[in-house]
Amino acid sequence: MACTKTHPRITIRSGLTEVDAIIAVMPIVRVETAIAASPEECFDRARDVNLHAASTAGSKERIVDAPASGMLELGDEVEFEAVHFGIRQRLRSKIVEFDRPRIFVDEMQRGAFKRLRHTHEFARTERGTLMIDELDFASPFGLLGAIADKLFLAGYMRRFMLAKNAELKRLIESELR
């Protein structure tokens, strides 16, 4: 009889093959960034699509479709085009959770991943805000995608988020000076 243990994001069944186990435990990238600004300021800047595009200039990211206000709200969809690994790609996401100034979550609706969920959290600190980004993703192509996720994509996504957040931090803090 198979035993099942459930974690909020991972289900492990005894008796799985090694291949099944690799696919079952997909990478989650978590990046924490301290910003000298209030959670409200950080939250609003993080949901500003124009500031997002400015903070990802290294991947030549541009807005394809977004709300006219440029400020994402619950239910809004946004589409970006960027170059990753030398390939021009489009990603369309929808805001599926929104609780200002604490958290918002976007989920990929269309794009290169099998799934992508990006949680943005904002916690008040003595010196401002701790912005916490968590990317829960999986590549397509079954075992090959899972291996790519583990071998290089998780590291690439982490470096991308670190660079994006460093630029976002710089932009937010320079605006408030």
pLDDT in tens, 26-66: 689 999 999 999 999 999 999 999 999 899 888 888 899 99
Q: Note the pLDDT of residue 6.
A: 40
Q: Note the pLDDT of residue 39.
A: 98
Question: For 30-39, 79-88, 98-107, 158-167, which range has the lowest pLDDT when averaged over its residues?
Answer: 79-88
User: Is the distance from CB of 95 to CB of 108 less than 8 angstroms?
Assistant: no
The SS3 of residue 88 is: strand
Q: Note the pLDDT of residue 85.
A: 85
Q: What is the mean pLDDT of residues 81-106?
A: 95
Q: What is the mean pLDDT of residues 166-171?
A: 95
Q: Which amino acid, residue 150?
A: K
Q: Note the pLDDT of residue 31.
A: 96
Name which of 109, 106, 116 is nearest 140 in CA terms. Answer: 116
Q: Note the pLDDT of residue 7.
A: 41
The full set of domains in the chain, from first to last, is: 27-175 (3.30.530.20)
Q: Note the pLDDT of residue 17.
A: 55
Q: What is the mean pLDDT of residues 19-29?
A: 63
Q: Residue holding tokens 């589409």?
A: 79
What are phi and psi for residue 99, nearest 5 degrees?
Answer: -140, 85
Q: Note the pLDDT of residue 59.
A: 83
